[in-house]
Structure 1
Amino acid sequence: MTTSLRDRLAALSATATREGAPAPSCEVLADRPDGTVVRSGRTVAKAHAPDGDPRALAARLRIAAHPLLHGILLPPLPVTAPDGYLTRTEEGRALTRWPYGSPVPPDDPDAAPWEDTARLLAGLHRVDLRQLPGPVPPMRGPAKAARALARLRTAPVPSNGPASGRHAPVTAAGALPAAAAAVERAWATLPPWARGEAPPPRTGTLCHGDLHLGQLVRHPAGDGPWLLIDIDDLGRGDGAWDLARPAAWFATGLLAPDLWTRFLAAYRAAGGPVVGPDGDPWPDLDLPARTLTVQTAALAIAKAATADRSLDDAETAFVDACARMTSPAQQLAPAGPGVG
């Protein structure tokens, strides 16, 4: 992040300060190529991805501010600009303002609000697209998966390494070439829509597009209700995508069966339309869960290669799941209780 961008974000987040009051100190909450977030007091400012579409972002901001999303999405704060909820840098990068909310504590997994997350998703998925300010842009989940594979293919993965059988788990620490090959094989099994190469077969649901626990905050901070944040991938699509990351974590053994069962039960109890009210949800979730498993594994390998390190246990679990996708069973979901 350049000094000028930080200063611009600090000024934007400080505009909510009461006149005459001293400006609060500036804190960088996130600084990644696809987004930088700066906090000043009770307000945050975000610089969105440089290659993003400002018109699509403006549409997503109008949706997030719509009354139908009250209590589901954190609403943006207005800015003094023609677009109403976003302004731009001299280089054209989109900037937005938001209320500050307290995130899920990263060092306290027991505090993860799985059931609240499920209820928020159910509410999001029940929103009638016809009542939203349009046009509603497409959900960007498959496009992000394709970008993850592109990043893997440009990462400094060694060209040689320990060989891996076609269906063998990739468990050897540092076996990045074998891991990358397993991910590519799994990617090749996915249909074109999941790879971002064709429209999805189902597009009638408002989707978050990038659901994980980092996308939730309490607002007001501290003891307010949980709300979904980060609308950069929000749009029309297949709502199964939003359930697929918890499903993939469950399938790889990283989410306990009881937590998955509670998450799924809460979604169904709240009237979530993506899966039926009972029975096995996996026919609806399998392909999106596979895709997000491949995406996660691809990013893990790319990051490990760039940092010249081995895969950790969680990353290896996703790579092993990719290897299982090309096994004769073709089954990602673990067998046994808790699947439904």
Structure 2
Amino acid sequence: MTAPLLDRLAALSAPEGAPVTSPEILADRPDGTVVRSGRTVAKAHAPDGDPQDLAARLRIAAHPRLHGILLPPLPVTGPDGFLTLTEDGRALTRWPYGSPVPPDDPDAAPWEDAARLLARLHSVDPRQLPGPVPPMRGPAKAARALARLRSALTSAGGPLPAPRSPGPRPGSLPAAAAAVERAWALLPPWARGEAPPPRAGTLCHGDLHLGQLVRHPAADGPWLLIDIDDLGLGDGAWDLARPAAWFATGLLAPDIWTRFLAGYRAAGGRAVRPDGDPWPDLEIPARALTVQTAALAVAKAAGAARPLDEIESAVVDACARMTSLPDQLAPAGPVVG
């Protein structure tokens, strides 16, 4: 983050009439920088983002139909009312601060709350929202993860380290990347961001994980979804696909997955059938999220010239299984409601 950008974010997050001070940096990544001053958060969105699409997403997040589901943005001085631009065209937004999910207390993770919020989001009629509603960006993000993997391997060059643990894992990062590429090639075009999804009429979050929930008001308010950068029309199963993929790869306990799925169904969620095995609805999105996760894991390991760790190896293994048993990522037995 550059000093001018930090200064802009500090001014944006400062309470009205209060002197501008150095804010707390909550996140600083290439795709987004977030700072906090007291009860206000300011965010610099991805430099290559489309401000018009973001403005549409902000209007949706502020709409009364989304109250109690999405954290609403705070107004800023600018032509749209909810975003302003830096001199180089990067979008900046302003938000109320909410308390995140505690990272050191997995038993308190609000899986059922996340499921209920998704069910409510998926029930919103897009025709009642300010439009046009942009497409959900989940598949496009998966495609960018593959591009990042290819770039990282090209930049790394030379031999790369093998995994620390033995077993049926690819023996090097290039071999791991090849397993990811093969799994990617098996996905249908819509899951690779190359065509519209067959079910595209649902308002989706697009990047659901526990880091996308906060309590607002902070500390003890209700849980709300945050980060609307990928919000839009698509297949609602994509929002369930990350926990589904974690469950299928052994990274999420079966009882947690069962609670999450049951909470979604009980709240009237429409992305999966109301009972029985949900996997026919989740298979393709879960594969895509697994490939995305594996691609980013291999890219990060290549950039750091280190082996894959145990969790990274698990998702690469899942990609390898997809290519050897292309009709199954799902667990061995059906998951019923």
Query: When the two structures are superposed, what TM-score results if normalisation uses the length of structure 1?
Result: 0.94
Q: Matched residues in 2 for 1:135 and 1:50: separation?
A: 22
Q: Matched residues in 2 for 1:178 and 1:115: separation?
A: 38
Q: Is the 8 A contact 1:159 1:177 kept in 2?
A: no
Q: Which amino acid aligns with 1:114?
A: W
Q: Is the 8 A contact 1:257 1:338 kept in 2?
A: no
Q: Matched residues in 1 for 2:271 and 2:13: separation?
A: 37
Partner of 1:84 in structure 2? 81
Deviation of 1:112 after TM superposition, in Å, equals 1.0
Partner of 1:276 in structure 2? 273
Partner of 1:13 in structure 2? 13
Q: Matched residues in 1 for 2:176 and 2:320: separation?
A: 8
Deviation of 1:163 after TM superposition, in Å, equals 10
Deviation of 1:329 after TM superposition, in Å, equals 5.7
Partner of 1:131 in structure 2? 128
Q: Matched residues in 2 for 1:161 and 1:49: separation?
A: 30
Q: Matched residues in 2 for 1:206 and 1:236: separation?
A: 5
Q: Which amino acid aligns with 2:69?
A: I
- Deviation readout 1:290-329 (Å, 9 max, x if unpaired): 0000000000000011011111111111000000001136
Q: Matched residues in 2 for 1:329 and 1:45: separation?
A: 44
* C-alpha spacing 1:80/1:171, structure 2 compared with 1 (3 Å): same
Q: Matched residues in 2 for 1:255 and 1:129: separation?
A: 32
Work out whether 1:32 is the aligned partner of 2:29: yes
Partner of 1:107 in structure 2? 104
Deviation of 1:336 after TM superposition, in Å, equals 2.9
Any idea what SS the aligned residue of 1:194 has?
Answer: helix
Partner of 1:122 in structure 2? 119
Q: Matched residues in 1 for 2:161 and 2:103: separation?
A: 35
Any idea what SS the aligned residue of 2:192 has?
Answer: coil
Any idea what SS the aligned residue of 1:326 has?
Answer: helix
Partner of 2:197 in structure 1? 200
Q: Matched residues in 2 for 1:339 and 1:188: separation?
A: 30
Q: Matched residues in 1 for 2:256 and 2:173: separation?
A: 31
Q: Is the 8 A contact 2:11 2:20 kept in 1?
A: no
Deviation of 1:111 after TM superposition, in Å, equals 1.7
Q: Is the 8 A contact 1:158 1:177 kept in 2?
A: no
RMSD: 1.8
Work out whether 1:320 is the aligned partner of 2:317: yes
* C-alpha spacing 1:2/1:339, structure 2 compared with 1 (3 Å): farther
- Deviation readout 1:171-224 (Å, 9 max, x if unpaired): 65xx21111010000001001111111111111100000111111111111001
Partner of 1:170 in structure 2? 169
Alignment match of 1:44 (pick from 33, 41, 45): 41
Q: Is the 8 A contact 1:163 1:178 kept in 2?
A: no
- Deviation readout 1:101-136 (Å, 9 max, x if unpaired): 011111221121100000000000000010000000
Any idea what SS the aligned residue of 2:275 has?
Answer: coil
Q: Is the 8 A contact 1:158 1:176 kept in 2?
A: no
Work out whether 1:291 is the aligned partner of 2:288: yes
Q: Is the 8 A contact 2:161 2:306 kept in 1?
A: no
Q: Is the 8 A contact 2:35 2:43 kept in 1?
A: yes
Q: Is the 8 A contact 1:169 1:324 kept in 2?
A: no
Q: Matched residues in 2 for 1:329 and 1:46: separation?
A: 40
Work out whether 1:263 is the aligned partner of 2:294: no
Partner of 2:241 in structure 1? 244
- Deviation readout 1:249-291 (Å, 9 max, x if unpaired): 0001000000000000000000001111110000000000000
Any idea what SS the aligned residue of 1:29 has?
Answer: strand
Q: Is the 8 A contact 2:160 2:302 kept in 1?
A: no
Partner of 1:2 in structure 2? 2
Q: Which amino acid aligns with 2:95?
A: W
Work out whether 1:98 is the aligned partner of 2:87: no
Partner of 1:179 in structure 2? 176
Deviation of 1:25 after TM superposition, in Å, equals 4.8
Query: When the two structures are superposed, what TM-score results if normalisation uses the length of structure 2?
Result: 0.95
Any idea what SS the aligned residue of 1:38 has?
Answer: strand
Q: Matched residues in 2 for 1:88 and 1:185: separation?
A: 40
Partner of 2:229 in structure 1? 232
Q: Which amino acid aligns with 1:124?
A: L
Alignment match of 2:251 (pick from 232, 251, 254): 254
Q: Is the 8 A contact 1:143 1:196 kept in 2?
A: yes
- For structure 2, the residue ranges without an aligned partner over 5 or more in a row are none
Identify the range of structure 1 (108-117 vs 246-255) with the bigger mean alpha-carbon deviation. Answer: 108-117
Q: Matched residues in 2 for 1:333 and 1:266: separation?
A: 20
Question: How many residues are aligned here?
Answer: 332
Q: Which amino acid aligns with 1:280?
A: D
Q: Matched residues in 2 for 1:159 and 1:200: separation?
A: 39
Q: Which amino acid aligns with 2:52?
A: R
